[in-house]
Chain A
Amino acid sequence: MSGMPLLSLAIWIPIIGGVLVLAAAGNDRRAFEARLISLFAAALGFAVTLPLWFQFDPTTSAMQFVELREWIPRYNIRYYLGVDGISMPFVVLNSFITLIVVIAGWEVIQKQVAQYLAAFLIMSGIINGVFSALDAVLFYVFFEASLIPLYLIIGIWGGPNRVYAAIKFFLYTLVGSLLMLVAILYLFAASGGSFDLLEWHRLPLTLTEQKWLFLGFLLAFAVKVPMWPVHTWLPDAHVEAPTGGSVVLAAIALKLGAYGFLRFSLPIAPDAAQAFQGLMVALSLIAVVYIGFVALVQEDMKKLVAYSSVAHMGFVTLGFFLFNALGMEGAIVQMVSHGFVSGAMFLCIGVLYDRLHTRRIADYGGVVNTMPKFAAFFLLFAMANSGLPATSGFVGEFMVTLAAVKVNFWIAAAAATTLILGAAYSLWMYKRVVFGAVANPQVAALQDINRREFVILAAMAFFVLLLGIWPMPLLEVMHTSVDALLAHVAAGKL
């Protein structure tokens, strides 16, 4: 297998699969074929990422599985792919989540099935491209292209207010991206005509240059994460998105911004990153505390989980900007964990929405009486969402909090309020939705999860528990890359 261009396969199998689905089964009368082809493409796409994990060499921070070809020689733009211990887990995670999403939408989506599934497959390939691109133009193309399928998913299969949400989402992210483009062009000129990311990492820059570049990238990535105060597109997008869209948005799309900090902001502008540490930590803590309170009072389940995503991603950016290995590794674990936990939360809400067609907490109550199996899964994920030890949700928050104590006790104290706030918003929602006597005739008529739903929730539960009980394998993969990045940041460019 080692000779195969695994990264290219991970990118292009889903994209070609998506095109095939459109071509072969574009009509809804052939929905079953569309589902079958999609499942096959997603499974194959996931299968080709497994060797990435198992053949990965954790002892080096150099890029692995590198592919390098000329693309537009005139501007020195190259088709340059590779992964290190930071990006590799996300390629695998993304491909896995795609498989889950295809199964999750199996009988739920009845209109324009092929288009729906194709959008997810194509997006999966594009996102793998983002995580493995080492050429800035290639990265930019993938980064921007990932907007389009998500925009369509929300705009076409979304809820009643989908157009507002889709446009808000699109404008927010586009404004951010334009500044990034300026930064990229500046770096192209400063490096004497190169789009090679690794070369940019070594490029000497003055503090002023670094600060402007950092700010240029900041908006693009902060919107995607999303960081406070550019987060308000996320709840709207989630509420209007179909279940699969929410899962991919939470599990994968939010990671693109966080990943951008690690691949662009920190290595290219290390001194600026340190200069802006106070700002970044403050914004992260606001996300944890402020958003925690906002999540508490949401009346729509999806909005609640969307806000809780913002709070959890606050831990990610906090971990990055503590500049120690414990914090950064905790942040990356948190990114992976959030993929499973938040994805699973949205799947659970989807299970309820498919049955009752409402996401309002007040429309539920006593679900456990009619859906005991579902209630057990939902409890596991709600507990993981509130950071219970032995679930994946604990690992990252624990490591980042410990890392914060080293930097400043008060930062840690502010971050640790998530123990209370996370439990309060997750479990208060759980109480109102699941516990209690049967609230109304609709709840009384609920059917427990079917086999397909059981399989996807069980798969998510498996990883939530595995990562909580034994995060060692994931940590081992990233040690060397994280240490190298931190050494690079500490050394600076001045």
Chain B
Amino acid sequence: MKLLYTVVPFAPLVGAIVAGLWGNRLGRTATHRITILGVLIAFLASVAIFFDVHNGNTFNGPLYTWGTSDGLTFEVGFLIDSLTVTMMLVVTFVSLMVHIYTIGYMADDPGYCRFFSYISLFTFSMLMLVMSNNFLQLFFGWEAVGLVSYLLIGFWYTRPTAIYANLKAFLVNRVGDFGFLLGIGLIAAYAGTLDYAETFAQAEKLATMNEAVTGWPLITAICIALFIGAMGKSAQVPLHVWLPDSMEGPTPISALIHAATMVTAGIFMVARMSPLFELSDTALSFVLVIGATTAFFMGILGIVQSDIKRVVAYSTLSQLGYMTVALGASAYSVAIFHLMTHAFFKALLFLSAGSVIIAMHHDQDMRNMGGLWKYLPVTWLTALIGALALIGTPFTSGFYSKDSILIAVAHAQIPGATYAYFCVMAGVFVTAFYTFRMIFLVFHGKERFGQAHAHHDHAAHGSDDHHHGLAPGEKPHESPKVVTVPLVLLAIPSLLIGAFTIDAMLFGGWFANVIFVDEARHGSIAALREEFHGALAMGLHGLTSLPFFIALAGVALAAFFYLVRPDLPDRIAARVRWLYTILVNHYYFDRFNEIVFAGGARRLGRWLWQIGDRTVIDGAMVNGSAQIVGEVAEAGAALQSGRLYHYAFSMILGIAVLLLFLYLV
């Protein structure tokens, strides 16, 4: 089996190398065939491994020894269990869909082969991340997906906004990694190992210790440090700022990396570390509050976006917040469940948005759309399925996972739970509103396209040459099969997978022995189990429960604003100008970072360079001492006057000093 495990990540890597080095020589068709074959092999192998794990065969072992030092062994290896294989299936399936979709989406792009190389490289990195059995390799995958994300956000490298966004994404992630690395360092220092299983075996011992220098409770310090890493990768407030800008990348990678897989790495990591997080209520509270804040306040920003991709991006932020809330409520399996359903319906929404963008000739402004359902029937239907799942309509996959989160938070007892509950419930309304605002603006209402960029507000979303738009009178067309088939294939699990898997994933023993919950102290998952009487009953009950009505109200309000009275939103925005200004500026996070951190670092650097290096060290010390040498030399030169009596006097003086010296000794 070890060979099969190895095949999963390395098949996409081979594809990536071939496409990257020889893609242009092989041609487009050969390149996409090779990379798709690699991902297909990875997917099929994952399916085989899934059945194997289902039969109870797990694996934990090294691939090779990376290094040894000071009693620590650094290894590259695999941990194959139910959590791993769930992630492997999600990653390889979504990646496969995105690979196929890319054939259509990137058809006109000169960087076609490069793009395939990057997304296969990403698939490799992400698989190494989720399959790891130790912190070193986790960090490897962690940074490698960051690298590919950097490459893909900056894929169109001539756009100023894209190369600004990719640098920002990398640096903000590095801020998270700063915490992550220190967390790993604490584990290495106090547990003496980087292996997951060996670390977990010592978790109880770590929980009784304090950090030697700072005096912090060790387990809390470790968990919060690791979570800071997760905040970067999974875009939690205040390290979320990179994700909306990452939409500068091509849409397929927004679906794959910035919605379905990479951004969920932080969620996966915390779930994997459940034996550690369960031991620190402080860390869990921190996780809960950060997640709730992200879920609610980022969702609100989705309301004021006019770029279709940015709506979905803020929605992703908000949904990542929901997953984080579930983690904080000790409902790790629920978080992974929502991660999985979200991967399907959010990838679907992004790819639908991409299909719309193709039809609109790369105009992403929803104010130029409207009434598209007639022209893009498949895209419309699949996007609608994605939207219904996103807002948690009963019986869709999103309903099962989101409703479970709501119940779990309702039963959470740790500090911050009340605040979190308010945020996630209010978030349901916000989600429903912005989602259907998007659906109505894009697919329904008056047809606003083909008006030669009447509203084309360049400043709002960064002007660039890729925003063409439809010519006057031109009608949009449905996208080709390579685009719509992945949409349909993603729509099916978006609808159904929740109902079929909820029992096994949350209550059955799928994650037994993998995810650890201390049910005596954290009762959320136990309460969920008590209330659960089958998927059908849960769906029926959902039709009469509060979240459903809240969501319904959100949809109704969106319908009123954007179908019945489309003049209202602008008038309301004008009324509460101050609030609108704060929202369109994303709460001024970007401005603050730009001035305080980026600007501050540059000012500090310039000050240290000019004052520290140039004035003090070079000016006073180096050139100063050279100057003293020079002056002494000049003084010495003045002595050589050429007058005989000067020399004679000096000689006598010298002899006198010498004699005195000898006499004294």
Contacts and interface: CB of A to CB of B under 8 A. Distances in A.
A397 to B, nearest CB: 9
Given A293-B605, A297-B609, A419-B177, A403 B70 contact: yes
A404 interface: yes
A232 B616 CA distance: 11
Contact of A325 (B69, B214, B617): B69
B178 A402 contact: no
Given A290-B608, A296-B601, A408-B213, A401 B185 contact: yes
Interface stretch (A129-137, A147-155, A351-359, A421-429): A421-429
A111 interface: no
B185 A389 contact: no
Closest 10 CB pairs of A and B: A405-B185, A325-B70, A293-B605, A297-B605, A326-B70, A435-B163, A296-B605, A389-B140, A437-B158, A405-B189
Interface string A297-315: 1100000000000000000
Interface string B408-427: 00000000000000000000
A394 B606 CA distance: 27
Contact of B612 (A233, A294, A390, A406): A294
B250 to A, nearest CB: 16
A402 B167 contact: no
Contacts of B174: 419-420, 423-424
A296 B188 CA distance: 31
B139 interface: yes
B184 interface: yes
The residue in B70, B178, B184 that gathers the most chain A C-beta atoms within 10 A of its C-beta is B70
Interface stretch (A8-16, A32-40, A66-74, A470-478): A470-478
Contacts of A471: 66-67
B185 A366 contact: no
A290 B611 CA distance: 12
Interface string A311-339: 00000000000001110011000000000
B307 to A, nearest CB: 22
B602 to A, nearest CB: 6
B55 interface: no
A472 to B, nearest CB: 5
A409 interface: yes
A335 to B, nearest CB: 15
A253 interface: no
A369 B188 CA distance: 44
Interface in B310-344: none
Contacts of B66: 469-472
A96 to B, nearest CB: 21
A417 B160 contact: no
17 contacts: A232-B622, A294-B605, A295-B605, A324-B70, A325-B70, A326-B72, A383-B147, A388-B147, A409-B212, A413-B182, A416-B181, A419-B178, A420-B174, A423-B174, A427-B170, A431-B167, A479-B69
Given A366-B158, A470-B66, A419 B181 contact: yes
Contacts of A326: 69-70, 72
B157 A436 contact: yes
Contacts of A295: 605
A256 interface: no
**Dominant SS at the A interface?**
helix
A294 B608 contact: yes
A420 B605 contact: no
B69 A297 contact: no
A394 B430 CA distance: 43
Interface of B: 64-70, 72, 139-140, 142-144, 147, 150, 154, 157-158, 160, 163, 167, 170-171, 174-175, 177-178, 181-182, 184-186, 188-189, 211-214, 601-602, 604-606, 608-609, 612-613, 617-618, 621-622, 626
A428 B143 contact: no
Contacts of A423: 170-171, 174
Given A294-B613, A435-B157, A436-B157, A388 B608 contact: no
Contacts of B617: 229, 232
B567 to A, nearest CB: 40
A410 B70 contact: no
Contacts of A394: 143
B644 to A, nearest CB: 36
Contacts of B608: 290, 293-294
A472 B613 contact: no
Interface string A367-400: 0110000000000000100001110001100110
A168 interface: yes
A298 B608 CA distance: 12
A5 B521 CA distance: 70
Given A171-B626, A232-B613, A389-B139, A475 B181 contact: no
A404 B150 CA distance: 29
A65 interface: no
A404 B185 contact: yes
A413 B189 CA distance: 14
Contacts of A195: none
A168 B618 CA distance: 10
Nearest to A390: B140
A325 B68 CA distance: 10
Nearest to B606: A297
Given A428-B167, A434-B157, A435-B154, 14 more contacts: A293-B605, A296-B601, A298-B609, A389-B142, A389-B144, A405-B186, A420-B174, A427-B170, A435-B157, A472-B65, A472-B67, A475-B67, A475-B68, A476-B68
A446 interface: no
Nearest to B128: A390
Contacts of A214: none
A409 B70 contact: no
A412 interface: yes
Given A294-B608, A405-B189, A419-B181, A329 B158 contact: no
Contact of B602 (A296, A399, A402, A472): A296
Contacts of A298: 609
A402 B626 contact: no
A413 B183 CA distance: 10
Contacts of B177: 419
B433 to A, nearest CB: 37
Nearest to A294: B609
A75 B617 CA distance: 40
A181 B460 CA distance: 67
Contacts of B170: 423, 427
B188 A405 contact: yes
B175 A420 contact: yes
Contacts of B606: 297
Contacts of A330: 69
Given A399-B69, A424-B171, A229 B621 contact: yes
A172 interface: yes
B157 A368 contact: yes
B144 A409 contact: no
A390 B144 contact: yes
Given A297-B605, A402-B189, A470-B64, A369 B69 contact: no
A401 B136 CA distance: 13
Contacts of A395: 67
A207 to B, nearest CB: 26
The residue in B64, B171, B606 that gathers the most chain A C-beta atoms within 10 A of its C-beta is B171
A402 B609 contact: no
A424 B143 CA distance: 15
A389 B69 CA distance: 17
A349 B160 CA distance: 23
Contact of B604 (A233, A293, A369, A399): A293
A168 to B, nearest CB: 7
A168 B622 contact: yes
A197 to B, nearest CB: 26
Interface in A433-488: 434-437, 469-472, 475-476, 479
Contacts of B601: 293, 296, 424
A410 B221 CA distance: 13
A388 B143 contact: yes
A419 B185 CA distance: 14
